[in-house]
Amino acid sequence: MKFTQINRLMRLKTSRQILKKGQVHWILNLAAVRSVNKLDGVILWLENAKEAQDEGSEPVTVSKLQNREEMTDLLLGLGGTLHSYADDVNDKELKSVSALVESKVNAMRDEDFVTLWKSLLGRATDIGASTLVAYSLDQATLNEYDVAVSVLDEKLRSPRTTITVLSVTTREVKEYLRKGREILFRELLNIFKPLRKTQPTFVEEFEASLKVIDSRGGKRKKQGENPADEGK
């Protein structure tokens, strides 16, 4: 992979770090989750392409749940809420199943992770938002969790993707770099526009990372050249 292409990959990863930092602002937005999932897939392909060109590597199986880390944080929070409720009403069974250990959750297979999400969300729904609101869990949040879990289930039921990058061309690398830019500029930037008033710091940091992507490191742009066409 050429130096300029490696540089562009690093810029995509910088934007992804900003997204991770501000995940609380978008993790329950269905459109944002899907776009971030696609971006993760692009970055993973490019990273493996770089390794393949540098050293040669085996085909890589991509995790279906690209946003699992973010969803784990929410799951641990839901478990904590249910555990507090169970403790107050002396529900030993619920207290046991809601006592989540982060290391054990991280070690779960994707299928078990989604099953646990559905189970705890089902228990929360049965208890009801009118009761759990006292534990800072309202109906709107339960509805958002339901959407987020639906996305997980959708990803889980999709065919597992195996990316073989034993031999990649410069054209393929350029195409994936273009895809990454398109996700950031044409999808996520538009999705985050409504947050400019409510979450200005996050949006400003995200937009600043896009300006870095637009930068050509001092290379002069040709007249009439569109930054969105970079990598084509």
Note the pLDDT tens digit of each residue in 16-37.
999 989 988 998 888 898 898 8
- Rounded to whole angstroms, the Cα distance separating 67 from 152 reads 9
Extract the tokens encoding 27.
């993790």
Of 139, 157, 175, the residue that ends a domain is 157
- Rounded to whole angstroms, the Cα distance separating 212 from 214 reads 5
**Worst-scoring range by mean pLDDT, 82-86, 132-136, 199-203?**
132-136
Does 173 share its domain with 213?
yes
- Rounded to whole angstroms, the Cα distance separating 111 from 115 reads 6
DSSP 64: S
Mean predicted confidence (pLDDT) in 183-189: 94
CB 94 within 8 A of CB 81: no
Does 187 share its domain with 139?
no
Does 78 share its domain with 146?
yes
**Worst-scoring range by mean pLDDT, 7-11, 81-85, 218-222?**
218-222
Number of domains comprising the chain: 2
pLDDT in tens, 83-111: 999 999 999 999 999 999 888 988 888 88
Confidence of residue 78 (pLDDT cuts 50, 70, 90): very high
Which amino acid is it at 170? T
CA 143: distance to chain centroid? Answer: 19
Extract the tokens encoding 33.
């989750």
Does 89 share its domain with 108?
yes
User: Which residues constitute the domain of residue 190?
Assistant: 3-63+161-229
pTM: 0.55
- Rounded to whole angstroms, the Cα distance separating 155 from 132 reads 29
Plot region of 86 (φ>0 → left; ψ -120 to 50 → alpha; else → beta): alpha
